[in-house]
Amino acid sequence: MDQFLQHCLNAVMLGGTYALLGIGLTLIFGIMKVVNFTHGELYAFGAYMMYMLVMRTGMDFFAALVLAIVLGVILGALLELVLLRKLRGADIDTTMLVMIGAWIALQNTEQLAWTGVAVSINNPFPAAPLVIGPVSVAWNRVFVFFTAIVLIFATYALINHTKLGRAMRATFQDSDTAALMGVRIGNVNTATFAIGSGLAAAAGALLGPVFVAYPSMGDLAAEKAFAIVILGGLGSIPGATIGGFILAFVEELGAGYISSGYRDAMGFLLIIVILLFRPTGLFARKERIG
Amino acid sequence: MKAAGVIAGLFFAASVPLWLDNPYLLHVLIVTGIFIIAAMSLNLLLGYAGQLSLGHVAFFGIGAYASALASLGFSVHLLPDTVLKVEASPVWLSMLAGTVAAGMCGWFIGRVAFKVRGAYFVIVSISFAEVARLVALNWVELTQGPMALNNIPPLAISSFTFYKKPENYWLVLAVGVVCFILIQRLVNSKAGRAMVALAENEALATSIGVDVTRTLALATVVSAAMAGAAGALYAHYVRIVDPDVFLFIYTVTMVIMVVTGGKGTLAGPVVGGILFGLLPEALRAAAIKPEAQWIAYGVLMVLVVYFLPRGIVPALRRG
Amino acid sequence: MSFLEIRHLSVTFGGLRAIEDLTFSVREGELLSLIGPNGAGKTTAFNAITGYLAFSSGEVVFQGKNLKGLKTNQVAALGLVRTFQKTSLFGGRTALQNVLIGLHMRARQTPLAIMLGLPYVGREERGLEIEAAKILAFVGLERRKAETAHALPYGEQRLLEVAIALAAKPKLLMLDEPVSGMNPSETASFMAKLAEIRALGVTVLLVEHDMKMVMGVSDRVVCLSQGRIIAEGSPAQIQRHPEVIKAYLGEKYARAHG
């Protein structure tokens, strides 16, 4: 029973960051209809920025966290402006291929810059874990969880209570009508991609110090992000949030009780099962195919 | 005339092992040939039927593993006390088994294709390949996991064994030509037109009787089986297969070959295959790091999409 | 037994009743026109009949066969072929290839025979090309057979759409606003073409706004408004029908001229 509780606690702690990853991707995927292959690289970017800022320049941990996220937002905006702007209206193959090209270039740039060796990032939290009865959790994980929750709420507030958020929601519902009503779709797209990328970078910046950073870490993150988006339904923030926690639970319990080698397969299997039986995800409101 | 050019080209291609002294280059050509077959199969699905299948390497890997395992023989515990034991089979039969196994997986993926389309299908196909990789990695009893299946026997026909490079080169060339002809026939027929029609305007296609299910199933089965055949060729040529054969980067390579060569054209994957089969070697000779190489590929892909959106072959035809 | 029978057809989506209790039939060999103001439900009826839209209640029976739940290609296989309101072609293909695709159901080649390169496949292909050229000539597009479909002028694109539908050998041809956007001379030649199509034994169900054409070619007319049938009869009867006038021109006009 204690084992089970520990797994659950681990899952909850991890679920927050998974949710961040998923929300970022569901925004991009849902509003821009772009299969964002670079999402994982932004995650890795966030982690590596933390490494550079904390370990190489000695910046304060929390300041570095904020800066890493900001840098992620900027990188996302740049990617959208340089690569995607001109492709608006192109078919999905074209944008997909551009995204794949960007992903390859980004990941190998990271590989060149930091070589293949995994690096760890120091965190300012006490090493001894917080013990709550039969379960324990590391302090840095607690911090990660709460920061993730804060960011989720911030995103939710942005989408539902700001002018930009309204524009994004309108574009998601029907981009043609939104354009006719005066929404600047180009700016909405850039903002969406920037925010989504920022969330991915945040997830990476948060989890980097918990685990380690290595250049291909983005691939696994991307796969999980896609699984979460599919679970929760395209464009649904609540869906992505809950999906993030569901994935974390499935991974933790699967790894704990079935086999740890297949831990990462859980995400993929989930994707296949969901798409076979409930293609629109668990929470999607709109029935759209293709 | 075009036909004469093709025949001359084929003769030239067939002559290569007779005068090429460099065994490493011959090896590169053989592997390139295998990739061209895989690219042609992907082209049928991606270029003609318009299905964004990004898990194509799964069929290649399944063909490779199935063929290797069939030729080596294996025994696995299906349940704690039930063992499935399969005796080693002759290689030509194993290769057939590999092709069929991949084709059956293609049928399964094809069925999923009707339920989900577009971006969702992309993700399902990628996931399928990743699950295959993780199974190959973790089901050690069957696949030896990361320790790889080795000592895979080469093809043998009556008493002749395909040990050396020249005969493998000719084998790959022959299979390549056969596959090309199969695709050419399909594409210029009722079946091929149905695929293209679906990709271009599905509502109109069904209004004149095109059956989405059967058309997509055919496209995926043929495409998967062909990729599986390429995988089988690979397994019995390099004679060692490990889970890395399922890496996404190989799908990406095939996609780059098809897209830059010209998707939806017969010559496209061949041109793209030759280009991206030989380019790494040229870059390696120029002592460029592999990471820089891949960055160049990434940039090249983006440039091709921007400036030659239909690929090289159609651009050459226009100009 | 009627050729095509629609009984109490209702279609609802998103809480909106698009069609309510539609009942009419099409007799073999006739040309029936469906008219009505925009949003009356004409295209929705087409979509429901041919399987592009699920209907909530009612029956559609074609030559004694119930069409409920059939997939769109199965409906086409029974001989019911429809065209689309918005220009719908295989844009990147040539005109000839477009019609070749239309001949899909007439080709008997099996995938295995195709891959094996059996001789009958080649013979059938050659036969299909000849047939496709004939159909293009029938609609007057034989000079255009090597042109890419999206490069054709608008009027010719609409003719190509009809050619594709004809290639599928329809028993009942359902045309959705085939002359919309055409100029008067194009419309007149289309009306003549329709007569030729009927002479081949094809029954026609037509949705159209152009009243001159409707009155000129129809045997019978059914008028829809807001998802319901408001009038049915010969062209002359419909022209004078007060409900029809009201639906198109509004209450005031009907009272002024009724």
Which of C108, C48, C55 has the alpha carbon at shortest distance from C80?
Answer: C48
pLDDT of residue C226: 84
Q: Is the CB of B318 inside 8 Å of chain C's CB atoms?
A: no
Q: Using CB atoms and an 8 Å cut-off, which of residues 196-235 of chain B contact chain C?
A: 196-197, 200-201, 203-212, 218, 222
Give domain status of residue B61, yes or no. Answer: yes
Would B126 be classed as within a structural domain? Answer: yes
B93 contacts: CB under 8 Å, gap ≥ 6: B70
List of chain C residues whose C-beta atoms are within 8 Å of the C-beta of residue B188: 125
Question: pLDDT tier at C162 (50, 70, 90 boundaries)?
Answer: very high
Contact flag for A and B (3+ C-beta pairs < 8 Å): yes
pLDDT digits (tens, 9 = 90+) for B227-284: 999 999 999 999 999 999 998 888 888 988 998 898 889 999 999 999 888 888 877 7
pLDDT at A288: 33
Most B CBs within 10 A among C71, C73, C93, hence the mutation to make, goes to C73
CA-nearest residue to C91 within chain B is B200
With a cut of 70, list the residues of chain B below it in pLDDT: 1, 112-115, 318-319
In a domain, B160, yes or no: yes
d(CA A207, CA A16): 11
Question: Using CB atoms, which residue from B52, B134, B301 is nearest to A92?
Answer: B52
Residues near A124 by Cβ (< 8 Å), separated by ≥ 6?
A: A61
What is the rounded CA–CA span in Å between residue B264 and residue B47? 4
Q: Does the beta-carbon distance from A289 to B116 stay under 8 Å? A: yes
Interface touch B193/C111, C-beta < 8 Å: no
Task: Kindly determine whether residue A29 and residue B128, on different chains, have CB atoms separated by under 8 Å.
Answer: no
Give mean pLDDT, residues A195-216: 90
For residue C246, pLDDT over 70 is answered with yes
Average pLDDT over residues C166-176: 95
The span from the CA of B213 to the CA of B204, in Å, is 15
Kindly give the pairing relationship between strand C80-82 and strand B160-161: unpaired
pLDDT digits (tens, 9 = 90+) for C49-66: 999 988 888 999 999 899
B74 touches B142 (CB < 8 A): yes
- Two domains, one topology: C24-54+69-79+172-258 and C88-169: yes
Checking DSSP bridges between strand C57-62 and strand C65-66, what pairing results, if any? antiparallel
The segment with the largest mean pLDDT, out of A53-62, A121-130, C110-119, is C110-119
Distance, C-alpha B18 to centroid of its chain: 27
Is the CB of C104 inside 8 Å of chain B's CB atoms?
Answer: yes
Q: Which residue has the higher pLDDT, A120 or B95?
A: B95
Q: Is A76 or A9 the better-scoring residue by pLDDT?
A: A76
| Mean pLDDT across C205-211 | 89
Q: Residue C251: what pLDDT?
A: 56
pLDDT of C130 over the 90 cut: yes
Q: How many CB atoms lie within 10 A of CB B203?
A: 12
Q: B191 in contact with C at a CB cutoff of 8 Å?
A: yes
Domain span at B231 = 22-246
Please report whether residue B306 resides in a domain: no
Both tokens assigned to A247: 């994935």
Spell out the domain ranges in chain C. 24-54+69-79+172-258, 88-169
Amino acid making up residue B139 = W
pTM value is: 0.86
Q: What is the spatial distance between Cα A276 and Cα A288, in angstroms, rounded to a whole number?
A: 15
pLDDT of residue C258: 47
Whole-number pLDDT of residue C1: 57
Q: CA B143 to CA B141: how far, in whole Å?
A: 6
Return the number of other C-beta atoms located less than 10 Å from residue C185's C-beta.
9
Average pLDDT over residues A82-94: 78
Maximum average pLDDT range among A77-91, A130-144, B6-20, B183-197: B183-197
**Which stretches within chain A are classed as H helix?**
2-32, 39-50, 61-79, 92-114, 139-161, 163-173, 175-180, 185-207, 217-232, 237-257, 263-277
pLDDT band, very low/low/confident/very high, at A65 (cuts 50, 70, 90): very high
Q: Is residue B97 part of a domain?
A: yes
Distance CA A66, CA A68 (A): 5
Q: Output helix, strand, coil percentages for chain B, rounded to the nearest 5.
A: 75, 5, 20
Q: Which of C82, C102, C115 sits opposite B185 (nearest CB)?
A: C115
Percent of chain A with pLDDT over 90: 26
Q: What is the pLDDT at residue C149?
A: 93
Where residue B144 falls (left for φ over 0; alpha for ψ -120 to 50; beta otherwise) is: left
CATH superfamily of C24-54+69-79+172-258: P-loop containing nucleotide triphosphate hydrolases (3.40.50.300)
- Per DSSP, the three-state class of C23 is strand
The pairing of strands A130-132 and C16-26 is unpaired
Indicate the average pLDDT of chain A. Answer: 84
Type of residue found at B264: G
Higher pLDDT residue, A281 or C102?
A: C102
Q: Show which subunits contact C, needing at least 3 CB pairs below 8 angstroms.
A: B
State how far residue A104 is from chain B, nearest Cα, in angstroms: 5
Please give the pLDDT value at position A287. 34
CA dihedral A58→A62→A63→A65, nearest 10 degrees, is 100
The DSSP-derived string for B92-139 is HHHHHHHHHHHHHHHHHHHHHHHHS-HHHHHHHHHHHHHHHHHHHHH-
Residue B33 lies in a domain: yes
A273 touches chain B (CB under 8 A): no
Give the separation between CA B274 and CA B176, rounded to whole angstroms.
13
pLDDT of residue A67: 93
Do residues B60 and B136 make contact, with C-beta atoms less than 8 angstroms apart? no
Pick the CATH number of C88-169 from 2.40.33.10, 3.40.50.880, 3.90.1150.10, 3.40.50.300: 3.40.50.300
Is A282 inside any structural domain? no
pLDDT at A286: 45
| CATH number of the CATH domain containing A163 | 1.10.3470
Supply the range of the domain harboring residue A215: 2-115+133-277
Q: Per residue in C219-243, pLDDT tens?
A: 999 998 888 888 899 988 888 888 8
The answer to whether the CB of B227 falls within 8 A of the CB of B61 is no
SS3 B150: strand
Domain count for chain A, please give it: 1
Q: Which chains touch A (3 or more CB pairs under 8 A)?
A: B
- pLDDT at position C255 is 56
pLDDT surpasses 70 at A281: no
Q: Does B181 touch chain C (CB under 8 A)?
A: yes
Beta-strand pair A135-137/B74-79: unpaired
CA dist C248 → A259, C5, C37, C109, C238 (Å): 70, 26, 6, 50, 12
Is B54:B126 a contact under the CB 8 Å cutoff? yes
pLDDT for A210 beyond 80: yes
Q: Which of B33, B34, B45 lies closest to B224, judged by CA?
A: B45
Interchain contact, B189 vs C121, CB within 8 Å: yes
B190 contact residues in C (CB cutoff 8 A): 104, 107, 109, 114
Distance from CA of B191 to the nearest CA of C (A): 7
pLDDT value, residue A14: 87
Q: Which residue has the tokens 């009927």?
A: C198
Residue C19 to residue C222: CA distance in whole angstroms: 14
Does some domain include residue A71?
yes
